[in-house]
Copies of this chain bind each other. A is one copy, B any other.
Amino acid sequence: MAVVYYSKTGNTKKVAELIAQGANLIETIEVKCMSIEEVDNEFLTEAKTVIFGSPTISGTFSWQIKQWLDTMRTVKFGGKLGAVFATANYVGGGAEVAELAMIGELLVKGMLVYSSGVADGQPFIHYGPVCIQDGDEGQKERARIFGERIAKKTVELFN
């Protein structure tokens, strides 16, 4: 399972690590965080699940992620489980639009997309976790729980 992010200020990286922390609670899961600037293609190819994260830039996800998704040809994502998260500078900045836009990209790649939504009870995670900057306690906790839920779903689908 991989967590792939682009981080400008370090906040998105921090949230990626919280998600990985949560995923690590599931014993059979091996997780690796990687910036799109230093991707481990071999690990990514083997990964059953990839979570993508972006800062919110002008109300949507960053062009660096879009460029990477559009020009990366080495790794095939079809059939993998995909999920997303975003950080933003303020409430209303567009983090959920960023998430839904990334979800569109993952569907085009042929991924199965999942967020857990309201089906696992509280906390609800509609499209993916959102942290304002690097997140308050509740937002951080939601990120960890999201990692755990995605890891559980990975085991359920692929083992």
Binding site for B on A (CB under 8 A): 57-60, 62-63, 66-67, 69-70, 76-79, 81, 90-97, 100-101, 103-105, 107-120, 123-130, 132, 138-139, 142, 153, 157
Counting from the closest, the 8 A-B pairs by CB-CB distance are: A110-B119, A78-B119, A92-B130, A110-B117, A63-B66, A63-B67, A108-B117, A59-B126
10 new A-B contacts, CB < 8 A, other than A59-B127, A62-B66, A92-B129, are A58-B118, A81-B112, A92-B130, A94-B126, A97-B104, A104-B127, A108-B118, A108-B126, A109-B117, A110-B118
CA of A54 to CA of B62 in the docked complex: distance in angstroms? 17
- CB-CB nearest in chain B for A128: B92
13 contacts between A and B (CB under 8 A): A57-B70, A60-B105, A63-B67, A78-B119, A92-B125, A92-B126, A92-B128, A103-B103, A104-B127, A108-B124, A109-B119, A112-B153, A112-B157
Residues of B within 8 A of A90 (CB): 123-124, 138
Query: Closest chain B residue to A81 by CB distance?
Result: B112
B107 contacts A113, C-beta separation under 8 Å: yes
B97→A107 contact, CB < 8 A: no
